Chain A
């Protein structure tokens, strides 16, 4: 094959999040409405490799994908070796809004998957005026613990292999093998205890079922897309979440699991592109 170079650029941003210095890696491509993409627990921004290279998206959107602190090519903060990483709702929310401010993103659309699909609900609740819309992939107000997460960070078990093993079945059977195994590879590269620390937000700290009915979708439209093969953030969970948010728009996606943008980008864009067109036509500032 002929070598080629992606239009994507990757840079490191230095900023303070929660009074601590961070060196954060982010990638971007395209022009137009800022579209900030949030990866799943224990993974990194490579999950959006299909989307950020999709000219149908980048023609109208400035796609920004960042690796959360502790994830991917972003560093953990100084002193990490002496602490246990645990993601919380305030820290996660502050991280995203701080990044948007640092990059001077005006009225961005925030799209997140899984933990990202959860936190966008909190963003819609607390920062509606600053956002154009949110898209929750595999979104739910709460997920009960359904497996023993201690194995995710255990001296007797290889962390990367077991993290990938946990999420192995969350990929739909129809997803191409190459995309499935790339998705798993990202999990195999996660730092020790990072996936487990993200699940602290997902299963313990981040229950916002009682708050989401206060989201005003006139101020910040909420779109929910969930793959049918996700047994973690299941379609039932998303339906239950959507039922609590007046005006939320929900679609269940066929032949997709927990990682729609990574496990099968071609199938995912069939659902996402019409949604992005709708958001583009939704002129919030005129209302």
Chain B
């Protein structure tokens, strides 16, 4: 799902505009698999798939595969619908330099929720 972010995000002009101030690399961990998401002015430049030897990132968002699967339901159940809901239960961790994350909070939340569009097709 994460590897599909470039096609999901880069055709969405409103979302790109929302994230136009973000130029960073963040890490997403889906169970055992790590991804580095490269963002340039709101566009997803590329997504690298781990394992990585010495990854460099600004902030990281981690959760189990089962958690992300629930999060990416087209209509997620209560408690599965938001990064902060999952952080509250302890299923998700958010760490690192959180300044760019907080400064672009709605953008990051929407980018990571984009795979919901694929839910009925998979």
Asked if A and B are interacting partners, one says: yes
Bound Cα distance from A169 to B89, whole angstroms: 14
Q: Are A170 and B82 in contact (CB-based, < 8 A)?
A: yes
Within 8 Å of chain B (Cβ to Cβ): is A229?
A: yes
Interface size classification for chain B: 10 to 19
Q: Which residues of A contact B102 (CB under 8 A)?
A: 151, 154, 157, 162, 165
Partner of B105, one of A154, A161, A173: A161
- The residue from B76, B88, B109 contacting A168, defined by CB atoms under 8 A apart: B109
Which chain A residue lies CB-closest to B90?
A146
A151, A168, A229: the one within 8 Å of B78 (CB)? A229
Main DSSP-derived SS at the B contact region:
helix
Smallest CB separation, B68 vs chain A (Å): 15
Most buried by B among A154, A156, A231: A231
B 85-122 contacts with A by CB, 8 A: 85, 87-88, 98-99, 102-103, 105-106, 109
Instruction: Give every chain A residue within 8 A of B98 (Cβ-Cβ).
Output: 148, 151
Answer whether residue B75 sits at the interface, using C-beta atoms and an 8 A cutoff: yes
B78 with A231: CB separation less than 8 A: yes
For the complex, is B79 an interface residue (Cβ under 8 Å from A)?
Answer: yes
Q: Would A156 and B84 count as touching, CB distance under 8 A?
A: no
Q: Which residues of the other chain, A, contact B88 by a CB distance below 8 angstroms?
A: 146-147, 231
Q: Give chain A's interface residue range (CB within 8 Å of chain B).
A: 20 to 34
Measured between C-beta atoms, what is the minimum distance from B97 to chain A in Å? 11
Q: Do A168 and B105 touch across chains, with their CB atoms under 8 A apart?
A: yes
Could you tell me if A169 and B109 are in contact, using CB atoms closer than 8 angstroms? yes
B109 touches A173 (CB 8 A): no
Rounded to whole Å, the gap between the CB of A146 and the closest CB of chain B is 4
Q: Which residues of B contact A (CB under 8 A)?
A: 75-76, 78-79, 81-85, 87-88, 98-99, 102-103, 105-106, 109
Supplied contacts A147-B88, A161-B103, A162-B102, 11 more A-B pairs, CB within 8 Å: A146-B87, A147-B87, A151-B102, A154-B102, A161-B105, A166-B84, A166-B105, A169-B84, A169-B109, A173-B75, A228-B78
Residues of A within 8 A of B (CB): 146-148, 151, 154, 156-158, 161-162, 164-166, 168-170, 172-174, 184, 228-231, 234-235
| Chain A to chain B contacts (Cβ below 8 Å), 12 pairs | A157-B99, A161-B103, A161-B106, A165-B106, A168-B106, A169-B81, A170-B82, A174-B75, A228-B78, A229-B78, A229-B81, A231-B85
